[in-house]
Amino acid sequence: MKIECNTCGGQISTPDDSIVGELVGCKDCGVEYEIVSVNGNQIQLQAAESIKEDWGE
Ligand SMILES: [Zn+2]
């Protein structure tokens, strides 16, 4: 599966059997994302850094 990178607009490839909590990285800009939702062939990503920030508050 391919998802658009929110940071640079590049394509991120994810395995077909991706699961929530898996980390994927954008090859173009190096940002790491965590998969927060998998629904059929729709995947939602959240930047891993922003998740860590939430934990700190
Ligand atoms: Zn990117």
Instruction: State pLDDT tens for residues 10-33.
Output: 999 998 899 999 999 999 999 999
Does residue 55 belong to any structural domain of this protein?
Answer: no
How many distinct structural domains can be found in the chain? 1
For the record, the structure tokens of 36 come out as 């927060």
Does residue 57 belong to any structural domain of this protein?
Answer: no
For the record, the structure tokens of 31 come out as 């940002």
Per-residue pLDDT, 10:
96
For the record, the structure tokens of 15 come out as 């395995």
Per-residue pLDDT, 44:
93
Banded pLDDT at 51 (limits 50, 70, 90): low
Beta bridge partners of 13: 2
Does residue 8 belong to any structural domain of this protein?
Answer: yes
Structural domain span for residue 30: 2-50
Does residue 24 belong to any structural domain of this protein?
Answer: yes
Q: In the structure, how many helices (H) and strands (E) does the chain have?
A: 1, 5
Does residue 37 belong to any structural domain of this protein?
Answer: yes
Does residue 23 belong to any structural domain of this protein?
Answer: yes
> Ligand 1 centre and the CA of 5: distance in Å?
5
Q: Which CATH number covers residue 41?
A: 2.20.28
* pLDDT above 90 as % of the chain: 67
CB under 5 Å of ion ligand 1: residues: 5, 7-8, 10, 26, 28-29
Per-residue pLDDT, 56:
61
Contacts of 2 (CB under 8 A, 6+ apart): 11, 12, 13, 14
